[in-house]
Amino acid sequence: MKGLGLNKIAFLSMTTLMLVGSGYASARNRSVLLFSVRNFSEAANRFCTSHPGCRMIEEKTQEFSNGDTFVRVQTNLTGKRVGILIPDEMTPQMFMEALIKIRTARTLGAREIVAFLNTSISKIRVTTANGSLALPVESLIGVAGATQFVENGNHPRTIRIRRVWPGRYHLTHSFILQDSHDSIARDMGRVLNLPVYDPESLPRGAVKGAQIIFVRPVVIPKSETFFAALARVAQMTKEGAAVTWVTPLPWARSDKADQKGVTVIGRLIADLIESVGTEAIEFARAHAPQSQGFFDIPSFNVLGLNTLCAYLRNAGVEMIVSPDTGFQKDATLYADMLKLPVAVANKQRDPLTAQTKFYGFSGPSPAGKVVAIVDDETSTGGTLADVADYLKKAGATKVIAVVTHLAGDGGKALNSASIDQLVVTDSYPVSNAVVKQNSKLVIVPIGEELGRAVEDLIVKPHDRSAGDCQAILKGSQ
């Protein structure tokens, strides 16, 4: 992080902790269980060792290759007072870690969650290589579950959540704003008959009174692109726009508390998205159907089945395979649409390491068949490669791996001798250079399907056409 060396980190840590001790834990004779974010744990441990009223929370924090952050708490937090150190300046990854830990404490029954600051909360900065993000830090900390904050060792203050409320009043025009994903935006614009802009080409004054279809995928570095998108949605909403965000659902795999000491990060992400004023959200194939229920705002889960099944039908596929039992129901949807048999690979994923073990295969024989392995997302393609190895050994003549989201480089799948093709949608942007370098990789566009799903959502006052909307925007310059 620019301007935040190790000496300053140590200074901030010790200064904050001294203020915590004098202003909260020791002076008020109240015990506190303490979280810290990365780079602050050593100083926090030193402080808690010397202050009987403070104890560090035992937890494990891990970041996976797809950018997801995992936090598991081993300390009992039920009915306890919990504190977390918030640095003056954080990377997006540090801020996301802090929010996840706050929400985990709330999920585990903490009675009180206090954010400890070394400065005023209004001066907290979430910074990237391009500068600070205009984020409502206090509100986001409150949405995550913190109840109070302590500034400069002063008495605790209640956190105020200032939600940005969307509205449909006085909308005069609609358009699509794309950021880093022009292919989906163009396809949606054609279906919805709407103009498409990027941040550089957006006319001055165009945001006020607009219904904006905001096409912005959350890609690696995931926390950075997520918070940058939140900041833009918050700004557009404050300027008088109604924003529908189109993206693969962030942290889609974190859809359940499948072990002790964790929280449902997917629900936290939904709360953060709603808090900045997002009017509606559209995502391509959530990892699990229950993710759609995390939202109070209108949500549209587009499976991409029509797009992918059209390709598989033309490819002569004769059998559908689910890579695990968890995706069996979705694989059956492919099989039913294509009128093909379905089989299931038996594997288990370790929730702590994300490593998978393959135990065999159940269902019809793949011998002599063109087989498609279908899944919602892959990062490296390791699981797809393992299943494909088994299918080829069992006599499959051709194996096509099909995923909606290519969330990484797919290297293991593309380098597997057992996979003949890796077919993905363009839900995440894939450069032309990558496609040219990998003859196995096939990209099928999903923008038309996304556009059809939200046709009824579009407000078109007086049946204005896209040309009329462009005239309105030109007039506002």
Last residue of a domain, one of 158, 181, 198: 158
Contact partners, residue 216, CB within 8 Å, separation at least 6: 178, 179, 180, 181, 225, 229, 232, 245, 246, 247
The verdict on 310 and 294 lying in the same domain is no
Spatial separation of the C-alpha atoms in residues 189 and 318, rounded to whole Å: 35
The verdict on 59 and 90 lying in the same domain is yes
Residue of 170, 213, 206 whose CA lies nearest to 192: 213
Residue of 421, 346, 409 whose CA lies nearest to 378: 409
In a domain, 280, yes or no: yes
Strand partners, 245: 214, 281
pLDDT at 66: 65
The verdict on 354 and 319 lying in the same domain is yes
pLDDT at 374: 96
In a domain, 394, yes or no: yes
Summarize pLDDT for 158-201 with one digit per residue, the tens.
Answer: 888 877 766 555 788 999 999 988 999 999 999 999 999 998 99
pLDDT at 296: 93
CATH at residue 325: 3.40.50.2020
The verdict on 227 and 326 lying in the same domain is no
Strand partners, 403: 375, 424
CB 280 within 8 A of CB 298: yes
Residue of 104, 426, 378, 70 whose CA lies nearest to 254: 70
Phi then psi for residue 210, to 5 deg, are -100, 145
The verdict on 200 and 219 lying in the same domain is yes
Does residue 445 have a cis peptide bond before it, meaning omega lies within 30 degrees of 0? no
In a domain, 320, yes or no: yes
Helix or strand run (H / E) with residue 272:
helix 265-275
Last residue of a domain, one of 111, 131, 158: 158
In a domain, 467, yes or no: yes
pLDDT at 334: 96
pLDDT at 2: 41
pLDDT at 165: 67
In a domain, 417, yes or no: yes
The verdict on 201 and 148 lying in the same domain is no
The verdict on 110 and 212 lying in the same domain is no
In a domain, 164, yes or no: no
In a domain, 165, yes or no: no
Burial of 296 (0-12, 13-18, 19+ CB in 10 A): exposed
Tokens standing for residue 196: 């498409």
The verdict on 255 and 197 lying in the same domain is yes
Phi then psi for residue 80, to 5 deg, are -95, 160
Phi then psi for residue 105, to 5 deg, are -60, -40
Summarize pLDDT for 112-151 with one digit per residue, the tens.
Answer: 999 888 778 787 888 887 788 888 889 999 999 999 988 8
Dihedral angle computed from the Cα positions of residues 27, 30, 32 and 36, in that order, rounded to the nearest 10 degrees: -20
Phi then psi for residue 398, to 5 deg, are -155, 140
pLDDT at 355: 66
Last residue of a domain, one of 116, 132, 158: 158
The verdict on 240 and 321 lying in the same domain is no
Residue 31's domain spans which residues? 6-158
The verdict on 104 and 195 lying in the same domain is no
- Mean pLDDT of each 10-residue bin along the chain, 477 residues long: 40 43 44 79 74 84 76 92 86 92 95 86 81 88 92 80 68 92 94 94 92 92 92 92 91 76 91 94 84 91 93 96 89 96 82 66 92 92 91 95 91 95 93 82 95 85 49 52
Please tell me the total count of domains within the chain: 3
In DSSP notation, 48-83 reads: HHH-TTEEEPPEEEEE-TTS-EEEEE-S--TT-EEE
Amino acid identity, residue 51?
H
The verdict on 52 and 138 lying in the same domain is yes
The verdict on 351 and 225 lying in the same domain is no
In a domain, 210, yes or no: yes
Amino acid identity, residue 129?
A
Given its phi and psi angles, is residue 444 left (phi above 0), alpha (psi -120 to 50 degrees) or beta? beta
